[in-house]
Chain A
């Protein structure tokens, strides 16, 4: 069993829908990352969280340390949000030695 589990694995939605992607982990962590991998392959770091909630534009990330769970929300989804979203956790405090989830493939239909 992977230390980082994401759900759903695949998600297809209509443009404008509110999107939620979930991440659960089984180890103690120093931080949790949400990454976006575009169809072209590039990886972009969206958020790094160690508690609470962060917002950037239409993206919101939350984390519950006690429950070992994080969610990534996308409001007013758009076809350009179509990508693979990857949750990753860092156990160490000094660096980003990440353990990755298997990713959620999001497709937004116009």
Chain B
């Protein structure tokens, strides 16, 4: 199946721990994103990579570090987890605009709960 795949789907951890969420897309898209959906269901951009290069870095604490080993993968590593990091994290990918296609594609989300 062509898709954006995120793992894990659920993650429960203690405050202060370090955790990673992985994302892979097999759509051949150039650009990948991390979005955060908070407890009020509001979505916000965190990061975007284009062909492994960081192009968007919103006001996100330094504890969050994205890593893109190749254009098909964008992983999110979070250090020293805090209660406020509890949220659903969505990975997404998109092709270049010049392709004319509307194919912003989201992963299923990773629900992070920090205790």
Flag if B43 contacts A100 (CB, 8 Å).
yes
Which segment of B11-19, B44-52, B75-83 sits at the interface? B44-52
Q: Considering only CB atoms, which chain B residue lies closest to A94 in the complex?
A: B97
Interface centre among B44, B92, B102, B109 (most CB of A within 10 A): B102
User: Which of chain A's residues have a CB closer than 8 A to the CB of B43?
Assistant: 86, 88, 98, 100
Give how many A residues have a beta carbon under 8 Å from the other chain's beta carbons: 24
Q: Cα distance A67–B105 when bound, in Å?
A: 28
Q: Is the CB of B109 within 8 A of A41?
A: yes
Q: Are A93 and B97 in contact (CB under 8 A)?
A: yes
Q: Binding site of B, secondary structure by majority: helix, strand, loop or mixed?
A: strand
When distances are taken between beta carbons in the complex, the residues of chain B under 8 Å from A30 are 97
* Chain B interface bracket (under 10, 10 to 19, 20 to 34, 35 or more): 20 to 34
Q: Shortest distance in angstroms between A10's beta carbon and chain B's nearest beta carbon?
A: 12
Chain B residues lying within 8 Å of A47, measured Cβ to Cβ, are 102
Chain B residues with CB under 8 A of A93: 97
Give me the interface of A with B, judged by CB distance under 8 Å.
Answer: 30-31, 33, 37, 41-45, 47-48, 84, 86, 88, 93-100, 102-103
Going nearest first, the 6 A-B pairs with the smallest beta carbon separation are A48-B102, A43-B106, A100-B43, A45-B104, A96-B94, A97-B56
